[in-house]
Structure 1
């Protein structure tokens, strides 16, 4: 696909930013507008409650999930597809979970989520080191998903190139209960139940889900069980919420990536070593969180505490020969640990100089204690089983943060949002596996950062806002990135520095009373000491700092009601993610140089999403086009995943009865049966970069909803 010159998308976006409703931007002829007080607000870090998103100097998109959603509700990627700036790739590999990046941050991750902050009902799903996961977030119980991009993400602390928050619905009297069943291609089944309502003083939302699939590719079968609950009550003059989560995914098969030749021969195949070593991953997690919020006049107090346990066992395709090295950590990863934290904040709403002012001051501390063991993945001639112990260490990471934020409507048309956060992140590893050939590799590292942000909003008219924001962010290496040294020696990569970024954004938001919306933004993020993959082979990734990088681009979103029965939405992203400093790249065949201006791998330059929905009476019809430009897969850009465009169709029918509402739904994904690469493995050492997307897929489902 031919690359657009940088000024083309920028000019097109600027037209969308500044042309709508120019006449409305002019002040009335009779002079300045009257003083208008915006709604009463309650400030949280990086978010101002009771103030519409349109009045914030940030790119914040909220996806509302109602009871008429189609699809399996099995992965968070189902809710993130139409958000500009977001790449959420279903990898067809449940051992590695969804691949998520926001404006290019997090694109290097080969598994899990890095560089992006994730929270579920206010409880962090990202550990203190910046490693996160999406697997336990339940769309069945969720009411909405919020995605924050740009400078104000930094107010969430370490590794906040963007923020994804999933919020469960709060139970209320007369809420319906529902049962849901979905089945489709590859013997895929998703069955769930949601009980939501209020019993006496207790508000409840409990959702349980069972999911299984044989997988589209060979050796990609998986099973998942999840339970999510939110229980709330009015206690002590405030609101107390208990959030519970349980997730179990045993022996999810990992088909690994494919080379270009393998994709061309058979995109459904698994790499031969995947079946030889039975590559697989098991995850089990249980956690609980308690949130208390009380408002007393102008003051609001909020306290949150959470704790959980998580265990991971992963079998890799590493041959026995490399494990003969006494420094090798083996071919089985076994992680078992506890985590938890607290968050306390106070906010105040009042006036300063006769204008509305909101303040928030708070602090939080999080800790993860993880026992990391490594084992050989063979016993004698039998491979794919747990063998001798080769690594045993106790890893500890903790952060202590303080933050403050102020929002002030300092003039009738102007408001200001300021914030600052100070973070301290400490890593420590105690090595318990010490032999004659493997010395004590214990060590520690501390990272500190202060991240200020500021943004201003101009209210051009009742419907139109213009804004600008700037800030700083930082990202420490995760424990997984510190876990292996790029030189092949034992011990942690404690020489890695934290990446530091400077972020700018200007944008426009136009929200009409008719429901039409146009939002657009131009952004730039300059990063020093960028963390990048140094090697990726045999299930092991090592990392290094490569100097300066830049992510700049444009994004736009358009939503338009078409009468009372139809809706049209469009989302577009253009991003140029490049290296600013050249750096050497060395391998077995020698060294070469990655030149300044080279594209960062894993980041498509352009994305489009178009969705048309039509709801005549009890019917619902929808058509969606999802498109992406090519994606570079390695530092030298010698390989790319080609761009693609996919067409998806949905249909649903609702019947109302005295006993409740029955809803049937069906979908066809990739209607035109296109061959494409769904996701990539950045810098894979075996050049198996590609994870093919599925061909034409079918699904059908039923949902029964009734009043208890």
Structure 2
């Protein structure tokens, strides 16, 4: 898995296509950046804000990159990572399973998922937050702890390794030197939400320490969605000498969240917030239910509401990382990093409860060097990495006794996955206005597991063990060209590649629909072409636009295996195409008369279609195959727009007073492969006002407050919808939209109008 992430602290979301040399943890050290179009002796003073995954590697030159800074999200309620990324072009999000389980997508990477972060690599301060099986979650992210977030868009396995199908995200925590003391804060608002948090920070040239802790709880706006989540986050940098640095990272999160069931579209329209459903199990009343085995083993079932059954997620995540950085000289830096990551889950989210630990270990080593080739700057990166995951999980039937009471075990799995990778990149500034980048990465993966299935009847019980083991080797080359004809323009093009192996859970149902070995699955791969431009004609306007076209092979999808199948199986869809545009604008329309006014706009157009895919549908008597070629890929939002109109008073009596009006538009999107049923789109209006007293007010300068109204018009909308399966009717035809509207397990409603406020004081 790879490396690289660190970016300049930017005060606004922006596309960054210039190449930045290796970033280390040397605070406030001058970094020499040879920009195309400038003399080679140009020196720029920048503040280093983080490092990358395998260490402090290089910025991905030529790759479309956007960032959001604390100024974009630090003055608001900050309930989840959605508040951090909403202004970033190319990024969309949906509601997952839990209050902070936001499903982030880069160019649609996870739009087809109902939980977690998929097909991207996630880092924090350069430490991996994606486990070796490609799983990452956003529960452990409290926006109050962060300075910013950088998003690297497009296929990126050359440097990030396995599962970087659509790019990578690096979250940057605040620096202790910037905090310089203790901050205490509280957020509070609708639906019983309280978040009490504290941040302690100190730093100088020899060390930097940040300690953050928060406890957030609330009742939720949907029945059975109350929650309590605590998070601790620590980052320590120590300069051992002028050439050696140690960085320690610690994150711990405990999620205690009750979970409502997802609805059908008809249920959502009848009762979006599932009110009055605690003891009801009637679909007609718009109430979701689960069918639980009465004795926990076999036989009769009883329908219960999620609240009566006690469904929820009770999980813990702990990450500990250590990085050593050593400068051989002023041109060469060596980074070595180790990370331990344990994800322990207890999830009665359906008629079964899923429990078990997932322990992972990641080590990496890389070197960056700056040299000259033909009198021009040449920046070289090379690194190796190894990560290993071992897990042991069990599933139990849930009994209708309340409190998610466990019945008999239904299955257990024990397995592993490890990835061994190497990567290399050259960035040569071969002319004053040009530089070219070439790179190559590869990963060898070993995935193996044994799954034991348990069956029960009135007279007998049985068990069956299935073993699956699969090896994969993938390569990912890339190339980019960057041209800066003037200080106002930067043009870039890039060809990137990516790969993602199946996970162990994909290997145990065969194409015949029976429990068995499904190890014929191939890795999904992609080749993407980006063409973009950044235009900065003045300090008052920044415009960044990138068009992308990506060709996918062997995408992993789930489909029916035919009549009498025990379940769906994972299949490689032969070919699909993803194409679109991302656009970011920041504009000060009246810099003289309204100096504190700004307009921020981010827009994403994402058109994804299957070009070669045949799906099998079955009923109790027959199966039929249907071509999906030319169909839109379900779950992918084709248009996403966020526009903010901001004002911060820069001086005078009202200095420090500010706020914004925000409009978010999300287009409708398909829910099924046949393109029969859509989730409706929506438009939301949010308002925010904050006050940061100026320094001249003395002690009052240490106090910050805000108030916010979300969904001002009180729209009823869909915050998250998982894909639904098409159905084959008795006449051999595909079901129409009216039938699919009754398919349950898909929809979570978004929040009705909500009011929030908060205070923060610094000592």
| TM-score, scaled relative to structure 1 | 0.87
CA apart distance, 1:90? 3.6
Which residue pairs with 2:7 in the alignment?
none
Aligned equivalents of 1:647 and 1:384: distance in 2? 38
Which residue pairs with 1:135 in the alignment?
139
Structure 1 residues 376 and 621, CA, compared in 2 at 3 Å: closer, same or farther?
Answer: same
Structure 1 residues 657 and 587, CA, compared in 2 at 3 Å: closer, same or farther?
Answer: farther
8 Å CA contact 2:598–2:646 kept in 1: the answer is: yes
> 2:625 matched to 1:625?
no
Aligned equivalents of 2:288 and 2:208: distance in 1? 49
Matched position secondary structure for 1:648 = strand
Unaligned runs of 5+ in 2: 1-14, 16-35, 275-286, 291-305, 456-460, 562-566, 650-654, 727-742
Matched position secondary structure for 1:70 = coil
Aligned equivalents of 2:466 and 2:493: distance in 1? 47
Aligned equivalents of 1:513 and 1:290: distance in 2? 42
1:636 maps to which of 674, 686, 699: 674
Q: For structure 1, which segment, 582-591 or 549-558, has the greater mean C-alpha deviation from structure 2 after superposition? A: 582-591
> 2:243 matched to 1:186?
no
CA apart distance, 1:232? 1.1
2:602 maps to which of 548, 571, 574: 571
Q: For structure 1, which segment, 267-276 or 201-210, has the greater mean C-alpha deviation from structure 2 after superposition? A: 267-276
CA apart distance, 1:140? 2.0
Which residue pairs with 1:106 in the alignment?
110
Q: For structure 1, which segment, 522-531 or 264-273, has the greater mean C-alpha deviation from structure 2 after superposition? A: 264-273
Structure 1 residues 623 and 473, CA, compared in 2 at 3 Å: closer, same or farther?
Answer: same
Q: How does 1:343-422 map to 2 (within 5 A)?
A: 343-378=364-399, 384-422=404-442
CA apart distance, 1:95? 6.6
Give CA-to-partner distance per residue, 1:9-34, whole Å, 9 cap, x none: xxxxxxx9xxxxxxxxxxxxxxx978
8 Å CA contact 2:100–2:139 kept in 1: the answer is: no
CA apart distance, 1:682? 1.3
8 Å CA contact 1:44–1:360 kept in 2: the answer is: no
2:94 maps to which of 77, 89, 95: 89
Structure 1 residues 394 and 502, CA, compared in 2 at 3 Å: closer, same or farther?
Answer: same
Aligned equivalents of 2:160 and 2:436: distance in 1? 19
CA apart distance, 1:49? 8.1
Which residue pairs with 2:227 in the alignment?
222
> 2:581 matched to 1:550?
no
Aligned equivalents of 2:540 and 2:248: distance in 1? 35
> 2:315 matched to 1:283?
yes
CA apart distance, 1:543? 2.8
Give CA-to-partner distance per residue, 1:479-511, whole Å, 9 cap, x none: 344465675533564332211111111010123
Q: How does 1:11-22 map to 2 (within 5 A)?
A: none
Aligned equivalents of 1:194 and 1:644: distance in 2? 36
Give CA-to-partner distance per residue, 1:288-335, whole Å, 9 cap, x none: 1001112222111111111122210111433xxxxxxxxxxxx12112
8 Å CA contact 1:112–1:134 kept in 2: the answer is: yes
Give CA-to-partner distance per residue, 1:555-593, whole Å, 9 cap, x none: 111111342312211111111100101312313264351
Q: How does 1:444-483 map to 2 (within 5 A)?
A: 444-482=469-507
Aligned equivalents of 1:408 and 1:670: distance in 2? 49
Aligned equivalents of 1:382 and 1:140: distance in 2? 36
Which residue pairs with 2:688 in the alignment?
650
Aligned equivalents of 1:59 and 1:312: distance in 2? 35
Q: How does 1:195-214 map to 2 (within 5 A)?
A: 195-198=200-203, 201-214=206-219
8 Å CA contact 2:56–2:126 kept in 1: the answer is: no
> 2:79 matched to 1:64?
no
Give CA-to-partner distance per residue, 1:384-421, whole Å, 9 cap, x none: 31122222221101101000011111001101111110
CA apart distance, 1:663? 1.3
Matched position secondary structure for 1:416 = strand
8 Å CA contact 2:478–2:494 kept in 1: the answer is: yes
Give CA-to-partner distance per residue, 1:41-92, whole Å, 9 cap, x none: 9998899989999xx412101111149812333311111111111112245x
8 Å CA contact 1:178–1:195 kept in 2: the answer is: yes
CA apart distance, 1:130? 1.3
> 2:120 matched to 1:116?
yes
Aligned equivalents of 2:752 and 2:179: distance in 1? 42
- How many residues align? The count is 657
Matched position secondary structure for 1:440 = strand
Which residue pairs with 2:705 in the alignment?
664
Structure 1 residues 98 and 52, CA, compared in 2 at 3 Å: closer, same or farther?
Answer: closer
Which residue pairs with 2:612 in the alignment?
581
8 Å CA contact 2:721–2:747 kept in 1: the answer is: yes
Unaligned runs of 5+ in 1: 1-15, 17-31, 319-330
Which residue pairs with 1:271 in the alignment?
288
8 Å CA contact 2:448–2:504 kept in 1: the answer is: no
> 2:248 matched to 1:242?
yes
CA apart distance, 1:220? 1.1
Structure 1 residues 76 and 44, CA, compared in 2 at 3 Å: closer, same or farther?
Answer: closer
Give CA-to-partner distance per residue, 1:102-152, whole Å, 9 cap, x none: 112222212111111111121111111212112213422211100010244
> 2:324 matched to 1:292?
yes
Aligned equivalents of 1:438 and 1:619: distance in 2? 67
Aligned equivalents of 2:538 and 2:53: distance in 1? 26
Q: For structure 1, which segment, 481-490 or 284-293, has the greater mean C-alpha deviation from structure 2 after superposition? A: 481-490
Aligned equivalents of 1:96 and 1:33: distance in 2? 44
Aligned equivalents of 2:319 and 2:117: distance in 1? 19
Aligned equivalents of 2:53 and 2:372: distance in 1? 20
CA apart distance, 1:39? 5.2
Structure 1 residues 496 and 108, CA, compared in 2 at 3 Å: closer, same or farther?
Answer: farther
8 Å CA contact 1:46–1:153 kept in 2: the answer is: no
Matched position secondary structure for 1:525 = strand
Aligned equivalents of 2:576 and 2:43: distance in 1? 40
Structure 1 residues 47 and 342, CA, compared in 2 at 3 Å: closer, same or farther?
Answer: closer
> 2:637 matched to 1:612?
no
Aligned equivalents of 2:559 and 2:114: distance in 1? 12
CA apart distance, 1:173? 7.4
8 Å CA contact 2:157–2:497 kept in 1: the answer is: no
Higher relative contact order (CA 8 A, sep 6+): 1
Q: For structure 1, which segment, 407-416 or 102-111, has the greater mean C-alpha deviation from structure 2 after superposition? A: 102-111
2:586 maps to which of 555, 559, 582: 559
CA apart distance, 1:383? 8.3
Aligned equivalents of 2:613 and 2:500: distance in 1? 21
| TM-score, scaled relative to structure 2 | 0.81
8 Å CA contact 1:95–1:281 kept in 2: the answer is: no
